[in-house]
Amino acid sequence: YTTTAPITQRTDSSRGAKLDSAVSFIQSPARYDPFKGSEYALADPDLLEKSDPISDGVYYGLDNWDRSWVLAVDIDAKDIATARAERELDETDLEIKSADMSRDDALLAESEIRDADPTGYPYSFEDIDRAIEYGFETRDLFTDVFAAEETLVVYSGQGVHVYLLDEDLEYGYDEKSREVLNDLLLERYEIPIDPVVTADRSRLLRVPYSLHAEVCRVVQPIESPAFDPRTEARPQFLETEGELTHD
C-alpha cells in the first residue's frame, strides 16, 4: 500500500518499530495482516480457519531485470550430501529400485544419509555445516575477487543464500555473465552452488526472518561459519524440544 501523508521526521525508534512490524507479518501473515478483517486482507481466508496459522514459507522475487547488479548464489545441503554419497559409494553398489527413483535418490538411499541426524532428510547436519562454510567462502570470493563491498550470507533452512548487492553500474550481470560466474564457482573454486538459481534472473528465494516450516527453522542473515541452526535458528514459538523437527 502507499501513503500520501508527508514524512517530516524519522527516528531510530520509528524505523525499528516498522521493521518489527514487517518481521512479525513475514513470520505470521494472518495474525499481523494490516488489512485483517477487510475485503483487502492479504492472508488466504482458508489459512484464517486455523486457530494460530503459521506460514509454511514466505518468498520474494529477485527481480534482476530491474536490479541487474544483484547476485544470489544458492548452496544446498542436499547437493553436498549427494556429492559425498557419490564419493563414498562404488557405482556397482548403486541400486535404482524403480523408474521413479532418480540417481540422486538412489545415492542417498544407499549411503544411509537419511538415517543420520536429522533423520529422514536428504542430508545430515554435517552437510548443513559444510554448506554454511561454503557460503562464507563464496562471500570471501566476492570481496577478494570482485572487490565487492556489500555482501550477505543468509541461512536458508537447508543451506545458505549468498548475495552480492553492490549497486555500481559495472555490476550489471546479464544471463551470460551469470553462467560464467556459475562455471567460475563450480569448476575453478569447486563450490557446489545451484547453477539454476544463480543464472535465473527471476528466481524466488525465501524472505529473511521467515519460517522454513519443513525444518522448523528461521531463515536469517548470519555473521559467522560457526552459526549453529540447531540452536540459533530455533523459532521462539516452540516451547519444548519435543516440538522440534530438525534436531
Q: Whole-angstrom Cα distance, residue 22 to residue 20?
A: 5
| Residue-range domain boundaries for the chain | 12-55, 60-76+124-243
pLDDT tens per residue, range 12-34 = 566 667 777 777 776 666 677 77
Could you say which residues of the chain have pLDDT below 50? 1-11, 242-244
**pLDDT at residue number 113:** 84
pLDDT confidence of residue 227: 97
Classify strands 151-155 and 59-61 as parallel, antiparallel or unpaired. Answer: unpaired
pLDDT of amino acid 93: 58
pLDDT digits (tens, 9 = 90+) for 147-159: 888 999 999 999 9
Helices (H), 37-164: 77-88, 103-111, 125-144
* Phi, psi of 155, rounded to the nearest 5 degrees: -70, 125
Measure the CA dihedral 12/224/61/75, to 10°.
180
Instruction: Say what the pLDDT of residue 242 is.
Output: 47
The CATH code of domain 60-76+124-243 reads: 3.90.920.10
pLDDT of res. 155:
98
Q: Is 164 helix (H, G, I), strand (E, B) or coil?
A: strand
What pLDDT score does 124 carry?
Answer: 92
